[in-house]
Amino acid sequence: MKTLLTAFLLIFSLAFTASAQEHDHDHGTEQHDGHNHSDHDGHDHGEHAHDEAHKSGAAHDHEHHDEVNACGIVTHHAEFDPGALAFHHISDQNVYNIGPLQLPLPCILYSKESGVDFFSSGKFHADYHGTGTFANNKYVLFEGMVRRIQGDFPSGLVEIGHGSLGAVEEAIYKEEDGKKVESGKKDVIYLCHNGKKYACDNKSTLDGGLFGGGLTSFTDFSITKNVVSMIIVLLLMSWLFLKVAKRYTERQGLAPTGVQGLIEPVFLFIQDEVAKPFLGAKWEKFLPLLMAIFFFILGLNLWGQVPFLGGSNVTGSLSVTLVLAVIAFLVTNLNGNKHYWEHIFWMPGVPAWVKTILTPVEILGVFIKPLTLMLRLFANITAGHMVVVIFVSLIFVFSKNGMNGLAGYLTAPASGLLTIFMLAIELLVAFIQAFVFTILTASYIGAATEEHHHAEEHH
C-alpha cells in the first residue's frame, strides 16, 4: 500500500506541474443567458437604439441588442451560443465554482516586466460570469482566466467596471511567397478603460502555436480549478487507501467489509485480469504504477461527474493526459530489454529490403502509442462534458434565451432526460477509460519486458 501511495503521489505531482502550463482555450465569444445591470460604470447607452417607447417607460426588448462598451467592443451577445458555453465549462480557470459561487484561487504570475506576482484572484472582484471588475498589476480576469494588459496601463489595483472586457475576432496571417495570407482566426481580448482600447495577452503555453497558444508576455503558474480538483482527489484517495490498509491490518484473515469490500474486488480485477496476463512474472514490479494510474484517472473522472462542485475536466485536459502518456512512455522504454529494441531496429529473420519499410514504422509506433493514450482519454472525457452542457443548453436555445418561457418549459423534460442519460453514459465511460488506459499501459510494458524464447525461435 505504501508503494501504491508513492506511485500515486508521483503521478499527481507531475500532472500538477503540467497543469500550470495547460493550453488556454479562448472563449471570448461565450454567450450568456442573462446580464447584470446593477452597475453601469463604463456602459455607453449611446450605442443602443433606444426608441421613444423606451424613454416613456415601456419595456425594452433585449432580444436583438448586443451590449457594446465605449470602445465599440461587444461585451455580451444577445444570441445564446451553447457551443461557446460548453467550451467555457471545460476550460481550466483561475476561480473554482461551487454552484453560482466564484471562489478565488491563488494567482502565481510571472512576466519579464514585473517579475513574479502572487495574489488572490479575489482581487479581480469577478462577477457571476467570472469576469473581473478590477485590474491588478496589469492583469485582468476574463471569463475565469487571467490575461495581461499590453501597453501603458497603470500598475496596482485599478477599477475597470462592468462591461469593460470583451473579445474581438481577428484574422491570423502568415507569409506565403512574400504575401500575407489569412490562415485562420482567433479571439483577442480587449479592455476598454477611459475610452482607450488595450489588447490583453493570453498566458504562455508550450504547444508551439499548434493549438493557438505559444509564448506571450506572461506565464501562469497559478493553482487553477483543475489543480484544486487534483488536490481534492489526492486527499480523498489517500484517505481511502490508508483506511483500507488499516482494515487489512486489523482484520487479517477475515472477510472484507465496508470500504475494504469495495476496493478489494477492483484491486484484484486489475491485478488478475491486467497485471498478471500482460506482465507475466514481473507483474509485482509494475503493479503499483498500474494501480496508481487506474485510481488517479478513475478518481478524477468521477469527481468531474459531481454536480455543482467545480465541474472540473481534469482528464479532459491535454496537459494532464500528456503527463500520464509520458510516464507510460518512459516506463515502457526504460525497461525495454534487448529483445524489444532488436525487434524495432533490427528484426531478425526479416529480409533487408523489408526492414527499410518496417523499421521507420516501428520507430514511429514507439511514439504513436503514448500519443494515442493521451488523445483517447482527452477526447472521450471532453466530449462527454460538452454533450451534457449542450443538452442542458437546449432549454435556452428553444426558449430564445428566456424570451419564450412556454418553449423553455416544454423543452425542459426532454432536455433533462437526455442529460440524465448522458450522465449515466459518462459514469460508465469514467470506469472504461481508466481501465483502457491501464490495460494499454500494461500491454506496452509487457511487450517491452517480455523474455525472448530462444527455443521457439530456433525451431
User: Do the Cβ atoms of 68 and 49 come closer than 8 Å?
Assistant: no
CA distance 166 to 192: 8
Whether the per-residue pLDDT at 401 is higher than 60: the answer is yes
Per-residue model confidence (pLDDT) at position 17? 52
The pLDDT-based confidence of 403 (bands split at 50, 70, 90) is confident
Q: Which residue has the cell 443602443?
A: 48
pLDDT tens by residue, 360-397: 888 998 999 999 999 999 999 988 888 888 888 888 88
pLDDT tens by residue, 277-314: 999 888 999 999 999 999 999 999 999 888 777 778 89
Q: Mean pLDDT of all residues in the chain?
A: 80
Per-residue model confidence (pLDDT) at position 391? 87
**Residue 136 identity:** N
Contacts of 417 (CB under 8 A, 6+ apart): none
Which of the pair, 27 or 402, is modelled with greater confidence? 402
User: Considering only CA atoms, which of 81, 79, 78, 137 is closest in space to residue 110?
Assistant: 137
C-alpha cell at 314: 481534469
pLDDT tens by residue, 113-145: 889 999 999 999 988 778 889 999 999 999 889
Backbone φ and ψ of 195, nearest 5°: 80, 5
Whether the per-residue pLDDT at 7 is higher than 60: the answer is no
The pLDDT-based confidence of 324 (bands split at 50, 70, 90) is very high
Per-residue model confidence (pLDDT) at position 105? 92
Per-residue model confidence (pLDDT) at position 221? 92
Whether the per-residue pLDDT at 6 is higher than 60: the answer is no
CA distance 158 to 153: 10
Please say whether the dihedral angle defined by the alpha carbons of residues 396, 400, 401 and 407, taken in this order, is positive or negative.
negative
**Quick one: average pLDDT of 426-442?**
94
The pLDDT-based confidence of 57 (bands split at 50, 70, 90) is very low
Residue ranges per structural domain of the chain: 2-20+227-458, 91-223
User: Considering only CA atoms, which of 246, 377, 364, 354 is closest in space to residue 300?
Assistant: 377
If phi over 0 gives left and psi between -120 and 50 gives alpha, with beta otherwise, what is residue 348? beta
Per-residue model confidence (pLDDT) at position 1? 57
Whether the per-residue pLDDT at 420 is higher than 50: the answer is yes
User: Considering only CA atoms, which of 91, 18, 90, 20 is closest in space to residue 327?
Assistant: 18
Per-residue model confidence (pLDDT) at position 27? 41
User: Do the Cβ atoms of 304 and 311 come closer than 8 Å?
Assistant: yes
Question: Which of 189-203, 217-231, 444-458 is predicted least confidently?
Answer: 444-458
DSSP state string for 117-154: EEEEGGGG-B-TTS-BSEEETTEEEETTEEEEE-SS--
Whether the per-residue pLDDT at 42 is higher than 50: the answer is no
Per-residue model confidence (pLDDT) at position 233? 93
Per-residue model confidence (pLDDT) at position 452? 67
The three-class DSSP label of residue 396 is helix
Whether the per-residue pLDDT at 16 is higher than 60: the answer is no
Which of the pair, 230 or 28, is modelled with greater confidence? 230
**Quick one: average pLDDT of 210-227?**
82
Q: DSSP code of 207?
A: S
Percentages (nearest 5) of helix, strand, coil residues in the chain: 50, 15, 30
Question: Which of 73-87, 91-105, 197-211 is predicted least confidently?
Answer: 73-87
